[in-house]
Amino acid sequence: MPRDAAEDCKNMGVTVTFLGHSAVHIDDGDKKIIIDPFLTGNPSASATPDQLQADMVLLTHDHADHVGDTEHFLKQGATFVGIFELAEHYAGKGYTAEGMNIGGSIEVDGVTLHMTHALHTCHTGHCVGFIVETKDRQIYHAGDTGLSMDLRLLKEFFNIDVAFLPIGDRFTMGPESAARAAEWIGAQRVVPIHYGTWPLIPGDPKRFAQLVGDQAAVLKPGESLTI
């Protein structure tokens, strides 16, 4: 790509793509980040691992429907970012890993990452969410969280452009509680995730959109927003 064209691409903003279930891809024109890369075996996945590139893998917790293809991208040279104990696990396998903890912030290759609390269970460490800050944009991935008063604090510290919130119910927030979370967070756009993958988590994106109003951006797997 000619240099001028590459610069134009970088100035276009940040593209966020919903890949199905909880998998999200972020492309700021320079760095590519994938969150919870469950693609192989995911009936709602819009892409295979070989169709995607990632400089970083962010993992909210270590349940199988989130870990997914993490090691595929790490083997390609991506940096792992997650809760300290999971980072230790992947570093012990020889991968590049950056550990952090809830309430903390780090910078990796020019991208600032903030780790937030997620009210859920996991095998290792603690469940988390992430706020990815790049090119003056803030993207929030809540992970598998239930409704928590902690979510009210985010608006005090961040101006979130896009929030990805689970609505599947049973294991996470349902549409009603996710709509309340959206109100508290105050993001410009809110994308529902973690629903419809299996019968146990049907969710209802239409109900969520009705409750949230103009903030709602219901994306099908493979669809994107540019912010």
Residues 111-127: tens digit of each pLDDT: 999 999 999 999 999 99
Domains and CATH numbers, the chain: 3-218 (3.60.15.10)
Q: Are strands 162-166 and 137-141 parallel, antiparallel or unpaired?
A: parallel
Q: Closest by alpha carbon to 164, among 47, 62, 17?
A: 17
The torsion region of residue 208 among left (phi > 0), alpha (psi -120 to 50) and beta comes to: alpha
- CA atoms of 185 and 51, how far apart (whole Å): 33
pLDDT at site 67: 98
Report the pLDDT value the prediction gives residue 11, as an integer from 0 to 100. 56
DSSP string, 21-44: TTEEEEE-SS-EEEES---TT-TT
Residue 59 Rama label (left phi>0; alpha psi -120 to 50; beta): beta
Count of residues in the chain: 227
Question: Look-up: residue for tokens 């903390």?
Answer: 104
CB atoms under 10 Å from CB of 213, counted, come to 11
Those residues with Cβ within 8 angstroms of residue 47's Cβ, 6 or more apart along the chain or in another chain: 19, 39, 222
Predicted structure pTM score:
0.94
Q: Which residues of the chain have pLDDT under 70?
A: 1-11
Three state DSSP letters for 114-160:
EEEECCCCCCCCCCEEEEEEECCEEEEECCCCCCCCCHHHHHHHCCC
Q: Residues 98, 105: contact at Cβ < 8 Å?
A: no
